[in-house]
């Protein structure tokens, strides 16, 4: 929560010319209500089931249509039982956008529509629970800086599966603002 998954994911997909899918947006579209409303009406277990269904559907479409895709997971998606194994077995490289908890907390304080963000203590507890799962990701990228810098680092390291040298020949890499 607050790591920049949606912002970085959209920018990265744009740079690569790939499709971008925000799992939270898919969930809202399929349920016809916002995520906070879904949590309130149906609870977290029902949300996690819908989230898993939408994850499988998004990956299925990408594979079926042979469409390179950047998928922004929800903050708790990767922390659900079986999710890391499912993505690994599907051959999907997972990037953990990591930032110091103080940065994540400051970002979340200004956001609305976060059903699991209540206060600092509960946020820290949730982060502590989830970090064990996040550490299973294939790659870790510091997302403390602005989105352009994070995207540039992902591209520079070739994490998206496209060597940086190939990207420079075909893309105009966005330079992060100082």
Q: What is the pLDDT of residues 43-93, one digit of tens each?
A: 999 999 999 999 999 999 998 999 999 999 988 899 998 999 999 999 889
**Predicted TM-score (pTM) above 0.85:** no
Which helix (H) or strand (E) element contains residue 114?
Answer: none
Residue pair 22/9 in contact (Cβ under 8 Å)? The answer is yes
Strand-pair partners of 33 = none
* DSSP string over 4-46: -HHHHHHHHHHHHT-EEEEHHHHHHHHHSS-HHHHHHHH-HHH
CA 166 – CA 176 distance, rounded (Å) = 20
Q: In the chain, what percentage of residues exceed pLDDT 90?
A: 58
């Amino acid at each position: 929560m607050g790591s920049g998954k949606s912002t970085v994911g959209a920018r990265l997909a744009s740079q690569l010319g790939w499709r971008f899918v925000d799992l939270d947006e898919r969930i809202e579209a399929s349920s016809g209500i916002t995520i906070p409303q879904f949590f309130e009406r149906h609870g977290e277990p029902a949300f996690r089931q819908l989230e898993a269904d939408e994850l499988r559907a998004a990956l299925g479409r990408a594979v079926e249509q042979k469409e390179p895709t950047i998928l922004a997971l929800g903050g708790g998606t990767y922390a659900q039982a079986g999710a890391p194994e499912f993505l690994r077995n599907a051959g999907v490289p997972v990037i953990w956008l990591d930032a110091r908890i103080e940065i994540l907390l400051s970002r979340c304080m200004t956001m609305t529509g976060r059903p699991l963000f209540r206060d600092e203590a509960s946020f820290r507890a949730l982060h502590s629970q989830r970090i064990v799962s996040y550490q299973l990701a294939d790659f870790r990228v510091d997302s403390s800086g602005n989105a352009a810098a994070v995207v540039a680092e992902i591209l520079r390291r070739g994490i998206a599966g496209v060597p940086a040298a190939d990207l420079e020949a075909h893309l105009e890499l966005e330079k992060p603002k100082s």
